[in-house]
A and B are shown apart, each in its own frame.
Chain A
Amino acid sequence: NAGVTQTPKFRILKIGQSMTLQCTQDMNHNYMYWYRQDPGMGLKLIYYSVGAGITDKGEVPNGYNVSRSTTEDFPLRLELAAPSQTSVYFCASSTGTANSPLHFGNGTRLTVT
């Protein structure tokens, strides 16, 4: 049981390039989330999904897109990378029941130069 797996661990992008951050979970969780964490700060919610085919915006969605075609996968897409998107990105999942914690991956560290 691997939990929440994020790839890649590190990436450097040039301004204007695009990339997809991958997130997969093997716990059959319906709810999945993408957060970003800037240096010395807390986590901010980018997008979330309550099930396959359903996604919605979080607090800071601008510059990002997501899709949820399967229960297991929740990729995050950056179309035109900007220096402001330099951050550590965390994916999380949950069963969505009242008593369930979020399970986090180990993050993707992205630098845009």
Chain B
Amino acid sequence: DAKTTQPPSMDCAEGRAANLPCNHSTISGNEYVYWYRQIHSQGPQYIIHGLKNNETNEMASLIITEDRKSSTLILPHATLRDTAVYYCIVLSYNTNAGKSTFGDGTTLTVKP
């Protein structure tokens, strides 16, 4: 079973921030949180990852709670091209060879 829980769908207005939550209450100390997105049926595209600190890159920001049991992916200015399925996963190479199961993700629909 997937170790993360995400809402099945969300809407966002174009130009507004999209905040996608993820629950990973059973995360272990050496597991990282990774976010990917999948547009249509293409291969998942890496967005961002983090261990315990908040992270930002050119695509998004990742906010991880202090207890690491949940996180939020923030797309600061959503565009129509951000409409996709977003997956949050946890994985560790040290203890689990990077194995992970992707849950059903969140379908984000950006509306004009």
Chain A residues proximal to chain B, CB less than 8 Å: 4, 31, 33, 35, 37, 40-45, 48, 50, 56, 58-59, 88, 90, 92, 94, 96-107, 109
Contact = CB atoms under 8 A, between A and B. Distances in A.
30 contacts: A31-B93, A31-B97, A33-B98, A37-B41, A42-B102, A42-B103, A43-B101, A44-B102, A45-B100, A50-B97, A56-B97, A58-B99, A88-B41, A94-B93, A94-B98, A96-B93, A96-B97, A98-B30, A98-B92, A98-B93, A99-B32, A99-B49, A101-B34, A102-B44, A103-B46, A104-B43, A105-B43, A106-B43, A107-B41, A109-B41
B2 interface: yes
A42 B105 contact: yes
A56 B97 CA distance: 10
Nearest to A93: B98
In this complex, the member of A42, A58, A102 whose beta carbon has the largest number of chain B beta carbons within 10 angstroms is A42
A42 B101 contact: yes
Contact of B49 (A4, A45, A101, A105): A101
Contacts of A35: 102
